[in-house]
Amino acid sequence: MSRLAVPKTYKLFIGGKFPRSESGRTTEILSPTGTFIANVAKASRKDARDAVVAARAAWSGWSGATAYNRGQVLYRVAEMLEGRAEQFVAEIVEATGVTPAVARTEVMAAIDTLVWHAGWTDKFAQVHGGANPVAGPFFNLSVPESTGVVALVAPSTAESSLLGLVSSIAPALTTGNVVVALASESAPCAAMTFAEVLSTSDVPGGVVNILTGDVAEVAPWLASHADVNALDLTGADTALALECERAAAETLKRVVRPGAFGPTESAFERIAAFVETKTVWHTKSLA
C-alpha cells in the first residue's frame, strides 16, 4: 500500500529547544529544480532577542567549564554527526543539487572540523597565551578568555550549507564563547538537522542557537544588540556586511568581515578572533 509523505517543518533552535517563530511565519524551501522540500521557520527580531538571552544565560557555564570538558563535548557532536552522515548527504543533495560525492566530502569535512577543534580546546591557551618577561620581581601571564556572545552569518553556497555553519560555530565554541547563528538562507535544512545533533549531544542548552529565514532582516538586529559581543560576517554579502558593521560600531563590537579568513589564514586564527587576553601580575616570593 502506498502512503503519503510526511513533509518536515523545520523550527528554530533556541535555548536547546525547537520553538516556532513567535511571528508564526514560515518560508518554503525548494530544490534547485523547484520541488518543495520543507517549510522553515522565518525568524523575527523577537526570535533574535530570545536567542541572545538564551546564549547569555548559557555563557557562564560554558566558558567556566574546563577546556578538556569542552573538547569532549565537541568530540561527541562529531560522533553524533558521523552516525547520521548519510542523512546529511541526502539532505544536501536534495537541497543544493550537488552530487552525492560532493555532499559526502562536505559532511566528512564538517566532522573533521569538529574533531580538530575538539583537540584545540585544551591546547589553545598554551599557544596563544604565555609568560611575559618583565623588569621586576613579578610573574606576568597572558591568558586568553572567551569574548562572550558571538552572532554569526554562516556562508550560504551549494558546497557549504553544513560545512560553512560548522566552520563558523566551532572556532567560537572552542574557547568558551556561545553562539547565535544565522543559517544558510537558501539551503537551511542541513543546519537545522545539525541542531538536532546538537540537542542530542552534550551541548548545554543555549550554547548554540540557530535561526533561519531572511538573513538580511535579522542580521542587523543582532549587530545592534547591546548584549552581543562579537560579530562574524563571513557569510554576509557586501551590502549587508556594511550595514551590520555600522550597527555594531554603536556598541564597539568585535567584527570579522567577509573574506577575513582566506586560504592563507589558518583555522587557528579563526579561534583567536574571538578571545580576549587577560594579563595577570603576581609577585615572586622574595624569601
Domain boundaries, given as residue ranges, for the chain: 8-283
Looking at 68-77, 123-132, 267-276, which range is the least confident one? 123-132
Q: What per-residue confidence (pLDDT) applies to 162?
A: 95
Edge-to-edge order in the sheet of strand 26-30: 8-10, 36-41, 26-30
| CB distance 178 to 150 below 8 Å | yes
Q: What per-residue confidence (pLDDT) applies to 50?
A: 98
% of residues, the chain, pLDDT over 90:
77
Residue 281: exposure state from Cβ atoms within 10 A (0-12, 13-18, ≥19): exposed
Q: What per-residue confidence (pLDDT) applies to 286?
A: 59
Q: What per-residue confidence (pLDDT) applies to 265?
A: 58
Diameter of the chain by CA atoms?
87
Comparing 206 with 270, the larger pLDDT belongs to: 206
All three cell numbers of 87, joined, read 542523512
All three cell numbers of 2, joined, read 502506498
Q: What per-residue confidence (pLDDT) applies to 264?
A: 54
Q: What per-residue confidence (pLDDT) applies to 126?
A: 76
The Cα–Cα gap between 190 and 107 comes to 10
End-to-end Cα separation, the chain, in angstroms: 87
Average pLDDT over every residue of 67-93: 97
Torsion from C-alpha of 56, 182, 128, 72, nearest 10 degrees: 70
The Cα–Cα gap between 76 and 115 comes to 9
Q: What per-residue confidence (pLDDT) applies to 156?
A: 78
Q: What per-residue confidence (pLDDT) applies to 150?
A: 98
The Cα–Cα gap between 184 and 106 comes to 15
Average pLDDT over every residue of 125-129: 75
Comparing 242 with 129, the larger pLDDT belongs to: 242
The Cα–Cα gap between 203 and 217 comes to 28
Separation of CA 35 from chain center: 29
- Helix, coil or strand: residue 5: coil
The Cα–Cα gap between 239 and 82 comes to 36
Q: What per-residue confidence (pLDDT) applies to 128?
A: 72
Q: What per-residue confidence (pLDDT) applies to 149?
A: 98
Q: Which of 200, 203, 211 is nearest to 165 (CA)?
A: 211
Tell whether the model's pLDDT for residue 103 goes beyond 90. yes
Residue 280 vs residues 62, 139, 285: alpha-carbon distances, Å: 22, 8, 16
The Cα–Cα gap between 151 and 48 comes to 10
Tell whether the model's pLDDT for residue 241 goes beyond 90. yes
Q: Please state the pTM of the whole predicted model.
A: 0.92
Q: What per-residue confidence (pLDDT) applies to 142?
A: 76
Comparing 84 with 138, the larger pLDDT belongs to: 84
Fold (topology level) of 8-283: Aldehyde Dehydrogenase; Chain A, domain 1 (3.40.605)
Average pLDDT over every residue of 123-136: 76
Q: What per-residue confidence (pLDDT) applies to 281?
A: 75
| CB distance 48 to 180 below 8 Å | yes
Comparing 109 with 7, the larger pLDDT belongs to: 109
pLDDT, tens digit (0-9, with 9 covering 90-100), for 39-65: 999 999 999 999 999 999 999 999 999
